[in-house]
Structure 1
């Protein structure tokens, strides 16, 4: 009996040692999950593909509204790197103790109006035709991202308020969950147009669907985009965080209409 108990104890000890050795190895091989604002879809997909090719690391990219991601990270969602379209959300997470620091600015975004082919609305960045279309009945539906949790939607609201059109356009609004969904609504023909990110309008798949014009920067608060590592992020997530600031990655971001921050 003692011999059997000794064998069992020996086996258990060996198993525990094996688990102890395997645990750090597993931590190093965790696939990093990047929670990125939807305006980044095409740009970050291209940056990530280049990063994976150069380093061999594999990334999991998840796109959505920055406000929703902030809430999910506060609730301990398994994200490792957060690329927000609004720096305020990063600061909130840092103040809540969820991040390694207060992050780094990585881009400045722009918004503009897009109208699908065949629309009765004109792509006028100063909304003159939009105002006329509201009055003469041409405008039935107009898409923006939900300003409650999508930074690009909040800036669209500010621009419409600047033009004095917010109250009049509200009954016509179709709200996208994020700016990527908004681009789909604005170009599908189910609306007369909408306000979307320049970065999406420059992508080949969206550019062919309509006509786009920038809205003046002075009409809304700047879209200061900031990224941050969540506590416990694996080494590959940290590597991608640094890679985003390299000239190779920035060249891709600029090609999609982002300005690089001075910070």
Structure 2
């Protein structure tokens, strides 16, 4: 047998079973996962052969879409309440829900020296706009209001707040300069364990309700091996290493 043909057959034999069993999972992921999900999806595909097709958005909107029949198979929420509600309503597979990470909140400005350790920018009269995610549908937005209330400055800042539909849009308001600062997910401004741009204050966890982020196998994904494989992969050291590098804890 010619050497090239033999080598080709060996490659096919090695990859054929994996390719034959590969499937795609439709994932609804909270907007704070935008950066880490790129690495996680790539690692997932390399490890399993399966592919993750990821839609990013607010957890509250995903809840409404799932209830209206959206064909998502896995939900990676920004809270633990929404997956629990969907599971209770019979829209998720019972027993599949778990906390895949705990998020962190950061007050961030794209400009250097705007946010300092003493938080003078919050305690002084407001100058410029502050972006937050819509607290009605985005857990990170609700957490931001809790922080402002705990610091006693919520009433001062309320007229200066601009709301993004989700934490991704809130981040864009700040990154583009349309807001001077904003409460964003730490994962949006941290990479490899550091914050390379602007100025930031990482909010201590005790200043707001824990941002426990739960995963749930939704009913449309019950018989999809790729959906179950993704949930398993999220528990792996490889996935947790990625999430940890973006500021998540476990």
TM range (shorter): 0.7 to 0.9
1:38 aligns with 2:31: yes
Q: Alpha-carbon deviation of 1:181?
A: 1.2
The answer to whether the 8 A contact 2:129-2:179 is kept is: yes
Bigger radius of gyration, 1 or 2? 1
Please, which moves more after superposition, 101-110 or 208-217? 208-217
The runs of at least 4 consecutive aligned structure 1 residues that moved more than 2 Å come to 28-31, 124-129, 206-209
RMSD between aligned alpha carbons? 1.9
Q: Deviations over 1:45-84 (max 9, x none)?
A: 1111011122221221011111111111111111000001
Q: Alpha-carbon deviation of 1:127?
A: 3.7
TM-score norm. by structure 1 comes to: 0.81
Aligned 1:131-170 pairs, distance under 5 A: 131-134=123-126, 139-170=127-158
Aligned to 2:3: none
TM-score norm. by structure 2 comes to: 0.85
Q: Deviations over 1:115-172 (max 9, x none)?
A: 1226xx72146643222042xxxx1211010100001001001001111111111111
Runs of 5+ unmatched residues, structure 1: 1-27
Aligned to 1:175: 163
**Paired residues, what number?**
226
Runs of 5+ unmatched residues, structure 2: 1-20
**2:249 alignment partner, SS class:** coil
**Partners of 2:197 and 2:138 in 1: how far apart?**
23
Aligned to 2:10: none
The answer to whether the 8 A contact 1:198-1:256 is kept is: yes
Name the CA shift for 1:29/1:252 in 2 (closer, same or farther; >3 Å). Answer: closer
Aligned to 2:42: 49
The answer to whether the 8 A contact 1:112-1:125 is kept is: no
Aligned to 1:122: 114
Aligned 1:67-216 pairs, distance under 5 A: 67-102=60-95, 103-117=97-111, 122-124=114-116, 127-134=119-126, 139-203=127-191, 207-216=195-204
**2:51 alignment partner, SS class:** coil
The answer to whether the 8 A contact 1:113-1:124 is kept is: no
Match of 1:241 among 219, 228, 231: 231
**Partners of 1:77 and 1:125 in 2: how far apart?**
44
The answer to whether the 8 A contact 2:71-2:220 is kept is: no
**Partners of 1:126 and 1:194 in 2: how far apart?**
16
**Partners of 1:232 and 1:34 in 2: how far apart?**
11
The answer to whether the 8 A contact 1:158-1:220 is kept is: yes
